[in-house]
Each structure stands twice: as structure tokens, then as C-alpha cells.
């Protein structure tokens, strides 16, 4: 997945009008957005197609799918039918549950991102100790896309070593969570930024300044 300026906007706002306003202000800088449960639950899955049709964005649905295989399959099917270009799933649920997501992505000709380790402090309590095994599972399953944290560069580097140079890694945690975007891009292919852009007084200027800092 080629991503303009190596930057993805995490659009975790709560209304269609706010989403459109923000997207309109940053559309010249980005071509990929990430939509999570806040916007999808507030406005329904229809918001995916609305934003794609209006702005031409690629949309990654950050639903962190983490259920049994049969349920995962249904979640992914509905998400891809709604127009998503990619979906994010957790790896800790095991290979059968992940395979269900992968199968549905392949059926629709879309992408799957495997979450190895999250960016917030609490991820160190339980998820971090299994992150390397999750990454290796993804490699064994021939998954191409991964998520690893920009907030812990040592962990990001380790995940990169496991998945190899050809894998595509996107990294959350830049900005409000303290991650350094430029340093993260030494290991990842793109960074994910949310609040630093959409909570700013001028998202366009925030986006411009962030991109300058990456170069």
C-alpha cells in the first residue's frame, strides 16, 4: 500500500461533519486515513464510502478484530463490503482467527494489517511479551502488513527485524503519545497521527509542519 508523505491520519472524531471538515483541510497532503470505532459507531459504516467518494482516500478500518474465526470473518466481510481498503486485526487471538481475516481480505482483494504491539503504556503489561511471536506468526502466514509502535523504537526495530525488509509496517503513537515520527520512519513505512492534527486549531498547518519535520 503506497501512502503519500508516509503519513496516515487517524480520524477518531465523532461526527460526519467534523470528519469532512478535517479531511477537506488536509486532502492535498494525505491519501490514506484510518477510521476506528468512534467514527464508525457514531455514523455507521456508510461513512467509509462517503469519505472515499468525496476525497478519494484509501481507508484503513482500525477495528482491531479479535474474536473467534467465524465472527472475525463476518466483521471483515461487512467492513470490506462497506468499502474499506484494509482492516486491522489483533494477533493475540491466534492463527485461526487471523486466518479468517486474511481469507476475507483476499476474497475481497483488500489488505490485512496484523497488530503486533500497541503504542500506549498499558501494552507493556501483557501484549508486549508476545509481540515477537505474533510478528513471527504473521510471517509464517505470509502476511505482508504489520503494525508496531512508534512510541518504543527498540520494539519497532525488533519487529522490523522479524518481519523483514519487504514487509510494510505502519506505526501509531506519533504526536500526543510522544513518538518521534522521523525516527520511527527509520524502521516503518508510514506513521499514524491523530490528535496532533485533528485537535489542532488549524489541521492544515499542523499537517504541513509535521510533514516538514519528517523531511
Catalytic residue positions? 64
Question: Can you tell me which residue has the cell 467465524?
Answer: 70
d(CA 151, CA 171): 9
Do 20 and 51 form a contact (C-beta atoms < 8 A)? Answer: yes
Question: Cα 213 to chain center, whole Å?
Answer: 21
Helix (H, G, I), strand (E, B) or coil at 143: coil
Q: How far is Cα 161 from Cα 172, in angstroms, rounded to an integer?
A: 18
Q: For 79, list phi and psi in degrees, rounded to 5.
A: -65, -45
Residue with cell 502488513: 145
| Closest to 37 measured CA to CA, from 63, 9, 11, 5 | 63
Contact (CB, 8 A) for 22 and 203: yes
> DSSP code of 202?
-
Amino acid at each position: 500500500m503506497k501512502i503519500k508523505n508516509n503519513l496516515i491520519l487517524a480520524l477518531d472524531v465523532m461526527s460526519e461533519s467534523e470528519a469532512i471538515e478535517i479531511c477537506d483541510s488536509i486532502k492535498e497532503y494525505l491519501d490514506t486515513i484510518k477510521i476506528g470505532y468512534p467514527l464508525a459507531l457514531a455514523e455507521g459504516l456508510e461513512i467509509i464510502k462517503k469519505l472515499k467518494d468525496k476525497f478519494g482516500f484509501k481507508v484503513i478500518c482500525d477495528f482491531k478484530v479479535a474474536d473467534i474465526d467465524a465472527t472475525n470473518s463476518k466483521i471483515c466481510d461487512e467492513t470490506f463490503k462497506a468499502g474499506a481498503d484494509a482492516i486491522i486485526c489483533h494477533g493475540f487471538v491466534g492463527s485461526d482467527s487471523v486466518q479468517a481475516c486474511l481469507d476475507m481480505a483476499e476474497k475481497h482483494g483488500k489488505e490485512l494489517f496484523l497488530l503486533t504491539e500497541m503504542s500506549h503504556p498499558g501494552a507493556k503489561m501483557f501484549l508486549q511479551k508476545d509481540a515477537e511471536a505474533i510478528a513471527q506468526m504473521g510471517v509464517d502466514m505470509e502476511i505482508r502488513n504489520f503494525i508496531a509502535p512508534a512510541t518504543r523504537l527498540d520494539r519497532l526495530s525488533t519487529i522490523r527485524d522479524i518481519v523483514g525488509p519487504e514487509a510494510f509496517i505502519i506505526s501509531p503513537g506519533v504526536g500526543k503519545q510522544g513518538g518521534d515520527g522521523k525516527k520511527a520512519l527509520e524502521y516503518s513505512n508510514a506513521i499514524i497521527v491523530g490528535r496532533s492534527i485533528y485537535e489542532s486549531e488549524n489541521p492544515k498547518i499542523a499537517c504541513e509542519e509535521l510533514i516538514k519535520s519528517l523531511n
